[in-house]
Amino acid sequence: MTQHLSSLPLASRTEPLRESVFAILARRLVGYTGKRYPFHIGDNVVAPPAAAHWPAVDAGRLGSPYRYGHPSGEEAFRRAIADKLVRENGVDVGPDHVLPTVGSTHGISCVMQALMDPGDEILLLSPYWPLVRGIAVCSGVVPVDVPFYQALLDDPEADIAALIAPYVTPRTKVLYVISPNNPNGVVLSPSQLDTLAAFAAAHGLWLLADEAYEHYAYTRPHVSLASRPGCAERTVTAYTFSKSYAMAGARIGYVAGPERVIAAMRKVATHTVYNTAQISQAAGLAALESGRDTIELGRQTYGRHAGIVAERLAGFGHPSQGGSFAFVDLRAFGENAMPVLERAADRGVTLAPGELFGRGYAGYARLCYTATDTETLVEGLDILADVFRAG
């Protein structure tokens, strides 16, 4: 008897994957006709550099946008990235240490598949960017939550090694670090980075550094993990044009690391996307050449927004030190913040539920302060304050 198509099995790896942070509360807005305050999405209100706007991009600068490109990425783009890393990040690399990727999401996926075998474990210092857990699952890797960044906010002198050590097993291979942090805005200090590096060296671990928010540090300078002593040969770093240059739709990022890691990643990338689109690389190159004003405007605007959120939501968590987000502590309303978030969504204000950012954060919510202008941010915060007062 022919098997009914609806009974054909699907891969089990998709079962633990969560909906995107954009989808969970979207259903509450069906039929809502008032002004919306999209604080759930990590977007930018500052515009991309003018030279990186699609009509301005020289689409053929790095080769025909209608033909296959080189799987390694275009030489001029990789060289410009390497120059930027030397100049801004203090990382001594050349073009062969760089791989352009389809955003840092693709880059991190390639890193995991290049460094880890199925069943290997990656330590995710939490709270963390929600997609990283799903990337691990899709790569056959076991994600291990390690409560970390909130502990540093509560006690900046906390024993970092003691926080992480209980989660290390013989299968642990990679330690994932994101600074400035998404979702709670922690910016790790040089001494904290050095402690993480020493821990990784002592346990024979790779370091996967996510520096998507490298230019958005407000209370202390951002320091690249790969620039710290002894880190270059065990650190692979993912970057993106989505944040600093407000180019999320261009889907362009890059990974930097040891040549042998980049060579292995190139094999993975070849068999997943083949090459990153030349027009996106051309837009990225234009941003590197002319985007300094965009970065500075973003840093000033978003730093001011972080201060507004800290003032308006005082008592609901720690101020954000960097990045695009505040991690709002709603545990005063119960262990699960979803009822509060639903009431806020009914008034047009959407936040990302804390449970997406690691185990134990159901009483929190992530608020993005970079996606709207200042007036809209303040209006939305006033509505939130009213929702909080009502309990």
pLDDT tens by residue, the chain, 391 residues: 556 677 888 999 888 887 765 677 878 888 889 999 999 999 999 999 999 999 999 988 998 999 999 999 999 999 999 999 999 999 999 999 999 999 999 999 999 999 999 999 999 999 999 999 999 999 999 999 999 999 999 999 999 999 999 999 999 999 999 999 999 999 999 999 999 999 999 999 999 999 999 999 999 999 999 999 999 999 999 999 999 999 999 999 999 999 999 999 999 999 999 999 999 999 999 999 999 999 999 999 999 999 999 999 999 999 999 999 999 999 999 999 999 999 999 999 999 999 999 999 999 999 999 999 999 999 999 999 999 998 7
Among 290, 311, 329, the domain-final residue is 290
Distance CA 300, CA 88 (A): 18
Domain boundary among 268, 290, 312: 290
Q: Are residues 278 and 255 in the same domain?
A: yes
CATH of the domain at 324: 3.90.1150.10
- pLDDT at residue 305 in the model: 99
What is each CA distance from 103 to 20, 109, 240, in whole angstroms?
17, 10, 6
In a domain, 203, yes or no: yes
Is there a single domain that holds both residue 334 and residue 210? no
Compute the C-alpha angle 303/132/300, nearest 5°: 10
286 and 318 assigned to the same domain: no
Q: What is the pLDDT of residues 250-278, one digit of tens each?
A: 999 999 999 999 999 999 999 999 999 99
Say which residues have a Cβ less than 8 Å from residue 311's Cβ, sequence separation at least 6.
Answer: none
Give residue for tokens 């997609």. Answer: 131
What contacts 2, CB < 8 A, 6 or more positions away?
none
Place of tokens 């699960």: 336
Say whether both 195 and 339 belong to one domain: no
Q: Give domain status of residue 56, yes or no.
A: no
Estimate the crossing angle of helix 338-345 against helix 374-390, to 10 degrees: 130
Residue 104 belongs to a domain: yes
Same domain, 275 and 301: no
Do 286 and 241 share a domain, yes or no? yes
- Characterize the bridge pairing of strands 349-350 and 352-353: unpaired
Helix (H) or strand (E) holding 55: none
Angle between the N-to-C axes of helices 259-270 and 103-115, in degrees from 0 to 180, rounded to the nearest 10? 110
Considering its fold, how many domains does the chain have in total? Answer: 2
Looking at the structure, tell me whether residues 75 and 17 fall in a common domain. Answer: no
Containing structural domain, residue 358: 5-47+293-390
Q: Which residues pair with 328 in a beta bridge?
A: 365
Distance in angstroms (rounded) separating the CA atoms of residues 366 and 42: 10
